Homo-oligomer: A and B are copies of this chain.
Amino acid sequence: MQATLFRHADCKAQPLGNGVTRRVLAYDEKLMFAEVRCEAGGSGPVHSHPHAQNTYVLSGRFLFTAGEDSFEMGPGDSVAIPPDVPHGTRCLEAGAMLDVFTPMRTDFL
C-alpha cells in the first residue's frame, strides 16, 4: 500500500446546480474528501446516506441542518454527522466546505 497525492489543480470541479460545485480530492476505499464550493444563496438539499460524514468550513458562512438541529457555521467550524442522519445546507456567504466520508462515496466517481 502506498500514499496517493491529489493535486488540487488536477481534480475537476463538477457543477451540482443550486450554485454548488463539488471537487473530489484525495480518496481511497476508507476515506474520501469532497470540496464543495457554494455561491451565496446556494443550497444542498436535505439528504442522508449510510456513510459517516464530517464537514469542515474552509471559508464563507453556512446554515446547516442535521436531524432536529440547525446552526450557522463559519471558517474552522466543523460537524460530525453519523450515518443516516438527514442533513442539508444553505450558503449565507459564498465559500467552501470540506466534506469527508467513510467509507468512500463510490457514487461520487
Contacts and interface: CB of A to CB of B under 8 A. Distances in A.
Question: Interface SS of chain A: helix, strand, loop or mixed?
Answer: strand
A1 interface: yes
Which of A27, A33, A66, A74 counts the most B-chain CB atoms under 10 A from its CB? A33
A52 B79 contact: no
A31 B52 contact: yes
Contacts of A78: 5-6, 8, 25-26, 33
A31 to B, nearest CB: 4
Interface string A66-86: 111101011111111111110
Interface residues of A, number: 47
- Nearest 10 pairs between A and B by C-beta? A8-B76, A3-B66, A26-B78, A1-B82, A30-B52, A26-B80, A25-B78, A102-B102, A28-B80, A31-B54
Given A5-B78, A7-B77, 16 more contacts: A1-B83, A5-B64, A8-B75, A8-B76, A8-B78, A25-B56, A26-B54, A26-B56, A26-B78, A28-B52, A28-B82, A31-B53, A33-B78, A52-B102, A56-B98, A58-B58
